[in-house]
Amino acid sequence: MGLLCFGLYHFIFKVWLDSYTNHNEEIEIPDLSKMTIQQAVKTLDSLELTYEIDSVRHDSARPAYAVLDFYPAKGFKVKEGRRIFIKSNPKSWRPVALPDIVGKSKRLAFTQLKLAGLAVGDTIYEPDIAKDAVLRVLFQGKQITKNTELPRFAKVDLVLGKGLEYGVDMPGLVGMTLEQAKSSILANRFEVGRVNYEGTVSDSALLRVYYQYPLRGDNYDQGLPVDLWVSAKEPKELQNLVKDLDRQYRNFSENDSIAAAKYAEELGGRGNSSNTKNQGNSPVPVTPKNDPPPQPDGVQID
């Protein structure tokens, strides 16, 4: 029994275990530094060594697919089947994702782009209440959104808010439909204020702006409200209302009030048939019978 146990011990620990673990059988790691990744893989396969390849880092000074580093190092002895870790030079930089910078300040956007490996190209300013905030991001002229993959170090253009402007000329809204007037107000960075309706409204598409405040051509600050007066009535029916509004919102006199013909022209000629009489195809304003006679300059009519 003693001889049997000794023989079994000797076989397991001296013969079988040495054979199983390749004892005293070591492979020297070759120099992979001057090889391409294809050559390195072929060499390791011939030595029956396994490998793991990483291509995270890009070195523009080295050829594509060159071996940048490997571990264990050259001359290190390992057993058969040992895994070798190789860092390969990719053909180009790995794409990076655009960070979420829309709505962020210009300073924060610049910092986040730099950390992501991207660069800022042009900065384009548009009127917007959020001064120096990022409104949109453009790449090669096209708008892109967050997490869009871009080449590393690519340049993106930023559309930034310019902030509101002051002393902007008020556009003329008289004669427009209500929806057209609202669109024009918003397009010019103003806000829609009170909408005053005159008469009954059977179809909102028939409503036209017959007065506005501020008036056309007035200097006005963006972001402030613009009030509208709308009606589906004919211009002739609205003349007295226009005069009343003139007295309220203008330094009123007969010399600067809106004449009937001018008002009809601003309404796009809708009132020619009811405001004017045709004489040689030239519209002539119809003066209301009860209008007071013109007063000398400086006289205000209540």
Give residue 291's pLDDT: 46
- Residue 278: per-residue pLDDT: 38
Q: What is the pLDDT of residue 204?
A: 84
Confirm whether 292 is domain-assigned: no
Task: Please give the structure tokens belonging to residue 254.
Answer: 């007969």
Residue at which a domain ends, from 88, 105, 124: 88
**Per-residue pLDDT tens for 187-236?**
888 999 999 999 888 888 889 999 999 999 899 988 899 999 999 998 88
Asked whether residue 300 is domain-assigned, the answer is no
What pLDDT score does 124 carry?
Answer: 94
The predicted structure's pLDDT at residue 281: 36
Residues 230 and 126 grouped into a single domain: no
Name, in order, each residue with C-beta under 8 angstroms of 222's C-beta and a sequence gap of 6 or more: 127, 164, 165, 166, 168, 188, 189, 190
Residues 151 and 219 reside in one and the same domain: no
Strands 142-144 and 134-139: antiparallel
Q: What is the CATH number of the domain that holds 49?
A: 3.30.10.20
Q: What is the pLDDT of residue 276?
A: 38
Which residue ranges in the chain fall short of pLDDT 50?
Answer: 254-261, 270-302
Q: Are residues 80 and 109 in the same domain?
A: no
What pLDDT is stored for residue 259 in this prediction? 45
Specify whether 39 is located in the same domain as 145.
Answer: no
* 247 and 177 belong to one structural domain: yes
Same domain (yes/no): 157, 118: yes
Cα gap 75→47, rounded to integer Å = 14
What is the reported pLDDT for 15?
Answer: 57
Query: How many structural domains is the chain composed of?
Result: 3
